[in-house]
Amino acid sequence: MASKLDQLREMTIVVADTGDVDAVRRLKPQDCTTNPSIVLKAVGSDYFKDTVSAAVGKGGDAPDIAERLTVAVGAELAGIVPGRVSTEVDARLSFDTRASVAKAHRLIDAYAARGIEKDRILIKLASTWEGIRAAETLQKDGIDCNLTLLFSMAQARACADAGVFLISPFVGRITDWYKASDGVEGYAPDDDPGVKSVREIYDHYKSNGIATVVMGASFRNAGQVEALAGCDRLTISPDLLDALEADGGDLPRRLDPATATGDADPIDEPTFRWDVNEDAMATEKLAEGIRKFHADAVKLERLISERLGA
């Protein structure tokens, strides 16, 4: 029997959640997704040693060089995968629509200068109200977006209304919050709050003809991945991809648009903010995620500043 990874590929587009070039070449995903944490780890590797030196050597301040390195990592990955590479807008701009749009255009232009057209890139934005509005503008500009740090149906509904190309519900981080809240070690896959959240969003989208792609992200174990087999896309870390590759068991489809049921109503800003506020998990994990991405961006800029000082 084919491996579970091969079976998954028959029903879901598999995306690699890594900046590890060797892992991407070995596992052959369709797309790659990056974030500040992944870029920080990538530029600290021997593989990107010369890339870092070249970026620093071109001069500029630390934020400019960090942007240059982010695009360099993305460009390297785009040269390997046949599909798209997601590249994140600075987390510090998560509540600034205009600045987020401007930053996204800078990233797209930087990729174009390397010969990589915008149809190979997804711009990642945090799923704040401002980030979603930025995505709405960018989609109208012909720039497809990946809305990340998504933890609630309110965020998913707003993204659908904005015509966002793709959303990334964070399975593992949702589960982490509920494990701490419930005081448990874990959940069976079908009872996992992160899995249930993605299933609910998928059902909502498919039953209402919403074209936005659902890409489950932030997995903690292979069971979570298997429980979402059939989702539009899943972005998976190399260790879990390896685990699925090594497993020759049967992998049944768990999500299917033909079985979706539900209805949809547009969501306005007051309702969005109230619904997110009422969801303690979504409020806390969204804020925490923005802080963590920002912290890794600061670490990257500090590393660059040290190199400039040397």
Q: What is the pLDDT of residue 310?
A: 62
Tell me the longest C-alpha to C-alpha distance in the chain. 60
- Residues 6+ positions from 244 with CB-CB distance below 8 Å: 3, 4, 5, 8, 222, 225, 226, 236
pLDDT at 262: 64
Q: Around Cβ 233, how many Cβ atoms within 10 Å?
A: 22
Query: Any idea how long the chain is?
Result: 310
Taking the chain (310 residues) in runs of 10, the rounded mean pLDDT of each run is: 94 92 92 84 84 85 90 93 95 97 98 97 98 98 98 98 98 98 96 98 94 97 98 96 96 92 83 98 98 93 81
Closest CA to 225 of 212, 205, 239, 210: 239
Q: What are the angstrom distances between the C-alpha of 244 and each of 2, 86, 131? A: 10, 23, 34
Would you state the pLDDT for residue 174? Answer: 98
Give the residue extent of every domain in the chain: 4-309
The pTM of the full predicted model, rounded to 2 decimals, is 0.94
Architecture of domain 4-309: Alpha-Beta Barrel (3.20)
Angstrom distances, CA of residue 58 to CA of 2, 39, 299, 310: 48, 19, 20, 15
Whether 128 and 109 have beta carbons less than 8 Å apart is answered as: no
Catalytic residues: 124
Phi, psi of 219 (to 5 degrees): -90, 145
Cα distance between residue 139 and residue 252, in whole Å: 34
Asked whether the beta carbons of 225 and 239 are under 8 A apart, the reply is no
Q: Which residue has the tokens 């590249």?
A: 87
Calculate the alpha carbon distances from 209 to 146, 150, 183, 263 in Å. Answer: 19, 20, 38, 10
pLDDT at 19: 84
